Structure 1
Amino acid sequence: MALLEVRNVTLHFRGLTALADVRFSVEQGSIHAIIGPNGAGKTSMLNCVSGVYRPQRGAILLDGKDVSGLAPSARTRLGVARTFQNIALFKGMTVLDNLLIGRHVHQRTDVLMGGLYWGPGQREEIAERRRVEEVIDFLEIQHVRHQTVGTLAYGLQKRVELARALALEPKLLLLDEPMAGMNAEEKEDMARFILDVNEERGTTVLMIEHDMGVVMDLSHRITVLNFGERIADGTPDEVRAEPAVQAAYLGEPTTSAWGKA
């Protein structure tokens, strides 16, 4: 059963076509990767799914509901969360405060009741902190919960951004190059956490990633874009064997870049 359906999405920026009639579906409970050379339209596609961009043609369905006309905040309330290629955290705030901000869509206490701390406001804050602490434990960042985000190493900041997205309790988690700029050890940790998010929490993941070894190891299905068009869609083995994909990446059919000898 598809959690996300992208139906013939076309996106123009004046004279430039960023996406041309792109279609694919993401199955409930899967890890689905979007790959392609630089400028292929991958982040534009993620921005269409999250609501940052509104395509000129086509439709985006979440759980069977057309969300094409909804703002990003409305899609967040429906269960869409994302991380960014360039870290988008509040660098001057602590890890804990960044995650609590991620709980904003679940808060029900209004301004008046929130001001009465000894009542609904207190109970809600305790419940929100409990959920945030669960995410902190899950991603093993207990030791930095009270540190200012801007003082953390890059790999930890990427993990905190993932934690903030998970604090939203998403149905669909959008990851834009979650391992960009990481060393081998940090990539290994992030790959493990993405698997755990999918397998233990049951979260559906739509991911952009340039590390082909990681993509082939983690993904259940892969969509390949090139110059804004879909050129392949299938399992890792199917995509690896597709001549059009090999040509787009390497200029010739070969399997040496796909994580296998």
Structure 2
Amino acid sequence: MGGILEIKDLTLQFGGVIALDHVSYKVKAGEIFSLIGPNGAGKTSMLNCISGLYRPSEGSILFKGEVITRYKPHKRAHLGIARAFQNIELFPHLSVLDNLMLGRHVRMKTGVLSGGLYWGKAQREEVEHREKIEKVIDFLEIEHIRDTPVGRLSYGLQKRVEVGRALALEPEILLLDEPMAGMNSEEKEDMARYIIDIHEEMNKTIILIEHDMGVVMDLSDHIAVLDFGRLIGYGTPNEIQNNDKVIEAYLGEENVG
């Protein structure tokens, strides 16, 4: 498969601090691609550049061959790039269903007036969007909490709903920023299973940030390693485990093998 996302010579600078330093790599369509590295390496900054929250100082981002470097976040979402955040960005007082419906906002075409009056085209569109959401609810096995306010849910379930809201956009690329952070072992296993199912059954390209190296090595097709904003390694899990620079900077001997 060809490259769906290409990062070319990307640099991100905040004053005198260089968060990303001339980073280049490609993500193939249909793969699970992981970004790893020590805290402060630039991983979340990279996702912020891809999703449009940050505008890089230099370099370019291409999505399916189209330069999107200066596109605003909503336009990238409309093109097919969705993000689940490390810090949950849900509305705690709204139900699971309402949070997922909000994830469909960039797909809605009716205006405020027709949507508010709820007739004709607006009503038909509402039904169509509800059908899409129902599929996400079934897929993530959250039917039993659909009407529950998100703020009442366990942390693990909130993270699942966060992923569901990103899936509600029907993205081609799903950006997952530490989806297993703060979870217990059972919740991690559940999330890993959902990531595999999203990849295989929904045929989504996934870009994953995760500190659990067991998960990364098991799930990833390719891995990019950042350290102080620089790309110090790229390859398959086996190649990364045997990369001397990566071992020295991040993995350490105890995590290899």
Question: 2:186 aligns to what?
Answer: 185
Per the TM alignment, residue 246 of structure 1 is displaced from its structure 2 partner at its CA by: 0.6
Q: Deviations over 1:29-87 (max 9, x none)?
A: 00000000111000011111111111111000001000001111111111110011111
Residue number in structure 2 paired with 1:12: 13
Give distance in 2, aligned partners of 1:231 and 1:70.
28
TM-superposed CA distance for 1:230, in Å, is 0.2
1:112 CA drift (Å):
2.9
Q: Structure 1 residue 222: deviation in Å?
A: 0.1
- Tell me which residue corresponds to 2:78: 77
Task: Give the superposition deviation at 1:126.
Answer: 1.0
* 2:32 aligned partner: 31
Q: 3-state DSSP class of the match of 1:85? A: coil
Counterpart for residue 144 of structure 1: 145
Over aligned residue pairs, what C-alpha RMSD do you find? 1.0
Q: Distance in 2 between matches of 1:225 and 1:114?
A: 45
The residue that corresponds to 2:209 in the other structure is 208
Identity of aligned residues (%): 58
Q: Structure 2 matches for 1:50-199, cutoff 5 A?
A: 50-199=51-200
Give the Å deviation of 1:172.
0.7
Letter in 1 for 2:154: A
Q: Deviations over 1:93-152 (max 9, x none)?
A: 000000000011111111232234232121111111111010000000010000000000
CA distance in 2, matches of 1:116, 1:249: 56
Query: 1:49 — aligned with what?
Result: 50
> Is there any run of 5+ residues in structure 1 with no aligned partner, and where?
none
Cα distance, 1:15 vs structure 2: 0.5
Matched position secondary structure for 1:134: helix
- CA–CA separation in structure 1 for the residues paired with 2:217 and 2:109: 41
Matched length? 256
In structure 2, the gaps of 5 or more residues are: none
What CA distance in whole angstroms lies between the structure 2 residues aligned with 1:177 and 1:130?
29
Look up the SS of the partner of 1:238 in the other structure. Answer: helix
Q: CA deviation at 1:216?
A: 0.3
Q: Which amino acid aligns with 1:209?
A: E
1:232-255 deviation per Cα after TM superposition (whole angstroms, max 9, x unaligned): 0000000010011110125x5x2x
Structure 1 residues 162-210: Cα deviation after superposition (integer angstroms, max 9, x where no partner): 0000000001100000000000000000001011111111110011000
Given residue 11 of structure 1, which amino acid in structure 2 is its aligned partner?
A: L
State the alpha-carbon separation in 2 of the partners of residues 89 and 116 from structure 1: 26
**TM-score between the two structures when normalised by the length of structure 1:** 0.96
Residue 257 of structure 1 corresponds to: 255
Matched position secondary structure for 1:21: strand
Higher alpha-carbon deviation: 209-218 or 103-112? 103-112
Q: For 1:210-229, what aligned pairs fall within 5 Å after superposition?
A: 210-229=211-230
TM score, norm. by length of structure 2: 0.97
